[in-house]
Amino acid sequence: MDTTLQSAVEGLLLPGETSRGLFVRRADLPDRRLDDLALSLFGSPGPIQVDGVGSSHSHTSKLMIVARAARSGVDLDYTFRQIRVTEPTVDWSGNCGNLTSAVGAFGLLSGLLDPPRPTATGA
């Protein structure tokens, strides 16, 4: 493991159905060596990922990188990364529908989204 990457990265471990992932704000991550940082965060490669937030299973070794969207009519953009447990590999090619369901919650919890104003009508 490359210890030069060790630093604080603010994020939340959130469940999404049968998966769990680390959700981080894009602005809090460096522009370079992102795959190396992801491997370090999860403790990969390592069959039990004892040095990271992974839990030795593919369904708990997932990274969601979230940012405010620049496009009109869209609130958030996200990038999914699957962290391999026993290989030093970060897969960019897939998606995780389970964790996609938690992107909005992360947006609210992290301050990327403003909560909607409650509305009520009285009789």
Report pLDDT for 60.
92
From CA 27, how far away is CA 115, in angstroms rounded? 20
Please name every residue paired with 10 in a beta bridge, in sequence order, or none if there are none.
none
* DSSP characters over 73-100: T--EEEEEEEEPSSSS-EE-S---HHHH
Report pLDDT for 3.
52
Domains and CATH numbers, the chain: 10-110 (3.10.310.10)
Q: What is the pTM of this model?
A: 0.87
Tens place of pLDDT per residue across the chain (123 aa)? 455 555 678 999 999 989 999 999 999 998 889 999 999 999 999 999 988 898 888 999 999 999 999 999 999 999 999 999 999 999 999 999 999 999 999 999 999 999 888 877 776
Q: What angle do CA 56, 61, 67 make, to 5 degrees?
A: 165
**Is residue 66 within a helix (H) or strand (E), and if so which, with residue range?**
strand 62-68
- Pick from 53, 32, 33, 31: nearest CA to 42: 53
Report pLDDT for 123.
65
**Is residue 34 within a helix (H) or strand (E), and if so which, with residue range?**
helix 34-42
